[in-house]
Amino acid sequence: MIFRAYKVQLDVNNKQQTLLLQNIGCARWAYNWAVSKKKEALDSKENIPSAMDLHKELNKLKKTAVPWMYHSSKSSPQNALRDCDKAFQNFFRGLKKKNKMVGFPKFKSKKNDKQSFRLHGAILVKLDCIKLPRIGELKLMEKDYIPTNCKILSATVSKRANKWFVSVQVETPDRERSSVKNGVVGVDLGIKTLATCSDGATYKNPKALKKNLKKLKCKQKQLSRKKKGSKNYGKSKQKLAKLHYHISNIRKDCLHKTTSKIIDENQVIVLEDLKVSNMMKNHCLAQAISDVGLYEFRRQIEYKAKWNGRKVVFADTFYPSSKLCSRCGWKNSDLKLTDRIFECKICDMKMDRDLNASLNLKQIYTVSSTEIQACGEQSSENENSLSCSVKQEFNKKSRVYILKVCL
pLDDT at 181: 62
pLDDT attached to residue 374: 38
pLDDT of residue 176: 66
Please work out, in degrees rounded to the nearest 5, the angle formed at the alpha carbon of residue 207 by the alpha carbons of 213 and 241.
Answer: 45
Q: Is the dihedral of CA 364, 369, 372, 375 positive or negative?
A: negative
Residue bearing the bigger pLDDT, 397 or 299: 299
Q: pLDDT at position 333, please?
A: 86
Look at residue 406 and tell me whether its pLDDT is greater than 60.
Answer: no
Residues with Cβ within 8 Å of 63's Cβ and at least 6 positions away in sequence, in order, are none
Give me the pLDDT at residue 407, please: 28
Question: How much is the pLDDT for 393?
Answer: 44
DSSP-derived 3-state class of residue 156: strand
**212-215 LR contacts (CB < 8 Å, sep 24+):** 212/243, 212/246, 212/247, 215/243
Confidence (pLDDT) at 58: 95
CA–CA distance, 243 with 211 (Å, rounded to integer) = 12
Query: Domains in the chain, start-ordered, CATH in brackets?
Result: 2-172 (no CATH), 183-211+243-407 (3.30.420)
- pLDDT digits 0-9 by tens, 41-86: 999 999 999 999 999 999 999 988 999 999 999 999 999 999 999 9
Please determine, for residue 259, whether its predicted confidence score (pLDDT) is greater than 90. Answer: yes
Q: 379 pLDDT exceeds 50?
A: no
Cα–Cα dist 171/150, whole Å: 6
Confidence of residue 23 (pLDDT cuts 50, 70, 90): very high
pLDDT at 183: 85
Q: How many percent of the chain have pLDDT more than 70?
A: 88
Do the strands 202-204 and 124-125 form a parallel or antiparallel pair, or are they unpaired? unpaired
CA distances from 189 to 50, 285, 336 (A): 42, 14, 16
Between residues 107 and 328, the one the model is more confident about = 107
Range name among 180-184, 214-218, 296-300, 385-389 with the lowest pLDDT average: 385-389
Percent of the chain's residues with pLDDT above 90: 65
- Alpha-carbon span 86 to 81, nearest angstrom: 9
Query: How much is the pLDDT for 94?
Result: 87
Burial class for 63, CB neighbours closer than 10 Å (0-12, 13-18, 19+)? exposed
Mean pLDDT along residues 92-105: 83
Catalytic center residues? 188, 272, 354
Report CA Rg, the chain. 26
Comparing 169-183, 279-293, 329-343, the range with the smallest average pLDDT is 169-183
Q: What is the mean pLDDT of residues 11-38?
A: 96
Longest dimension (CA), the chain: 82
pLDDT of residue 385: 41
Look at 207-211, 221-225, 345-349 and tell me which has the smallest mean pLDDT. Answer: 345-349
Looking at per-residue confidence, does 390 or 74 come out higher? 74
Question: Rounded mean pLDDT of the chain?
Answer: 87
pLDDT digits (tens, 9 = 90+) for 166-215: 999 999 887 766 666 668 999 999 999 999 999 999 999 999 999 999 99
Residue 389 confidence (pLDDT) above 50: no
pTM across the whole model: 0.84
